[in-house]
A = this chain, B = another copy of it.
Amino acid sequence: MSVLVVGSIALDHIKTPVSEHRDLLGGSASYASVAASFFGPVRLVGVIGEDFPPPHRQLFADRGIDLAGLEVAAGKTFCWSGEYEQNMNNRRTLSVELNVFEKFQPKLPESWRATPYVLLGNIAPSLQRNVCEQVRQPKFIVADTMDLWIEMARADLLKLLGEVDMLILNDSEARQLTGEDSLIRAGRKIVGLGPRYVAVKKGEHGCLLFGRDGEFFSTGAFPLEQIKDPTGAGDCFAGGVIGHLARTDNLSFTNLKEAVIQGTLVASFCVEEFSLRRLEKLSGDEIAARRKAFGSYIA
């Protein structure tokens, strides 16, 4: 089954304690669509400027991603600049230039409105809701979000929660959204706010998955000795989750657990290199090999 991915497409400037890189392919939709492409056909909705480097566009094409929903607008591509501290857990945004993204309104090609699996990558909840209005009878909608929207657009986000099947956010965001210190209480509270499921990402500590009927799943991260660049790991996780669900077309909780594991694995590759450089070279066999090892690591 096909996956529709909507989100940001960006040029990232990233500083880590050991290096600095400019004009990297970034943005929630870039990471998520490439991650999902390892599982089946992907349709990308987003906007880029006239300056978008052709090699970046080629990367999407090489992954077989359908770009009929990729709008090229007059002006420059959205640009994010950030810096990581030594332990890679703390990120500081240095600058954000919205550029063409400022007026972005997702427009789904008519034939894409019936896409069964939808990932609303991390963008403003109002834009995510706009996409919900355009799709027809989707089987499963996953929405990713972040602290910025919980702080700036809480009302929109709460409305969105009534329209999606799964929310993805990280541990501190789950605490921020609910006011609960305990992640267990936070997760259970979020599934009371609308979504059937919530996945709480915990970085190196893995992920918790909660269902509205008391379902629960906890998994660790894939063990990595070194992380080069954590940017996009959460987007790749979301892309892997929706990709696996679309490939299997099975919405049982057992299969949702497997989707969380697949998302975890794709994210584990993502952080091994800057931008999408690792995923660019990644093969399905490598994911399968890591899945096999992971099986013995968690049970």
Contact = CB atoms under 8 A, between A and B. Distances in A.
A184 interface: yes
A217 B294 CA distance: 9
A204 interface: yes
A87 B220 contact: no
Of listed A182, A205, A217, A224, residue having the most chain B CB within 10 A: A205
B218 A298 contact: yes
Contacts of A299: 257, 298-299
B297 A217 contact: yes
Contacts of A219: 218, 220, 298
Given A86-B181, A87-B181, A298-B299, A206 B225 contact: no
How big is the A interface, by class?
20 to 34
A224 B297 contact: no
Contact of A220 (B182, B206, B226, B257): B206
Given A86-B181, A202-B205, A218-B206, A225 B297 contact: no
B225 A185 contact: yes
A188 interface: yes
List the 6 closest pairs (A to B, CB-CB), nearest first: A218-B220, A205-B205, A299-B299, A184-B223, A87-B181, A185-B225
Interface of A: 86-87, 181-185, 188, 202, 204-206, 208, 216-221, 223-227, 257, 297-299
26 contacts: A86-B181, A87-B181, A182-B204, A182-B226, A183-B204, A184-B223, A184-B225, A185-B225, A188-B225, A205-B205, A205-B206, A206-B218, A206-B220, A208-B223, A216-B223, A216-B297, A217-B297, A218-B219, A218-B220, A218-B223, A218-B297, A218-B298, A219-B220, A220-B220, A257-B299, A299-B299
